[in-house]
Amino acid sequence: MTRRDAARNWQNIVDTGRAFLDEDRPLRLNEVAREASIGVATVYRHFPTAEALLETLARPSLEKLVADAEASLRGDDDEWAAFAGFLTAGINAQLADPAVQPVVAAATHELPETAELVARLNALTGELLAWVHAAGRIRPEVQRADVIRLMCGVVFAATVHAAPSERPALTRRYLDVVLEGLLRRDASDQGRGGGEPGR
């Protein structure tokens, strides 16, 4: 098999895996191989586990989220707007790409690059949280793990028993509720971000 054939097979597997996720089908490598008309052994050579394929599918979205977080920390927005903007980007990524949430939530990862991306994303989330903490804009007891779990919870709440067309609006509404709850009350009373916490 030539390098070009291998690259074509890899792309075919990835495209087929993406179609499985978009259709809300379980990502099983044998079924991906059958649908892609590629030998099972070839699929396993490229992706030894379904988790490895899932992480490959999630990688572009994770890279964009890291870039969004870095841009938020460098941007001209104030602390709360930067923090809320990044959380919004995270919610949008989970809605647009069903590979993101399970990969971010996984305790371990198959691919070293995935582990690095998730670790970087968690670190950047912590930096943004520290920024709003230092500014006194967020409830002092809120920790990084709380933020990550709440974002997963928002997406779950907006997707369970809801039609796909309803999910973006529901997610935005639930995110605004969460942001309002995270905002420190005395900061809101002073008019710093309290009017439009989700911005």
Give the helix/strand (H/E) hosting 49: none
Arithmetic mean of pLDDT over the chain: 89
- Is residue 112 located within the same domain as residue 131? yes
Under a CB-based contact definition with an 8 Å cutoff, are residues 54 and 102 in contact?
yes
- Is residue 101 located within the same domain as residue 135? yes
Asked whether the predicted pLDDT for residue 193 surpasses 70, the reply is no
Q: What gap in Å lies between CA 169 and CA 98, rounded to an integer? A: 17
28 inside domain: yes
199 inside domain: no
Q: How confident is the model at residue 34 (pLDDT cuts 50, 70, 90)?
A: very high
pLDDT per position as a tens digit, 116-175: 999 999 999 999 999 999 999 999 999 999 998 898 889 888 888 888 888 889 999 999
**What is the CATH classification number for the domain harbouring 17?**
1.10.10
- Is residue 62 located within the same domain as residue 43? no
Domain count, the chain: 2
Domain that holds residue 37: 1-48
- Is residue 10 located within the same domain as residue 85? no
Q: How confident is the model at residue 187 (pLDDT cuts 50, 70, 90)?
A: low
- Is residue 143 located within the same domain as residue 123? yes
Using only the alpha carbons of the chain, give its radius of gyration.
Answer: 19
- Is residue 27 located within the same domain as residue 71? no
**What is the CATH classification number for the domain harbouring 136?**
1.10.357.10
Instruction: Choose between 4 and 32: higher pLDDT.
Output: 32
Q: How confident is the model at residue 108 (pLDDT cuts 50, 70, 90)?
A: very high
Nearest Cα neighbor of 17 from 99, 113, 94, 104 is 99
Q: Model's pTM, two decimal places?
A: 0.85
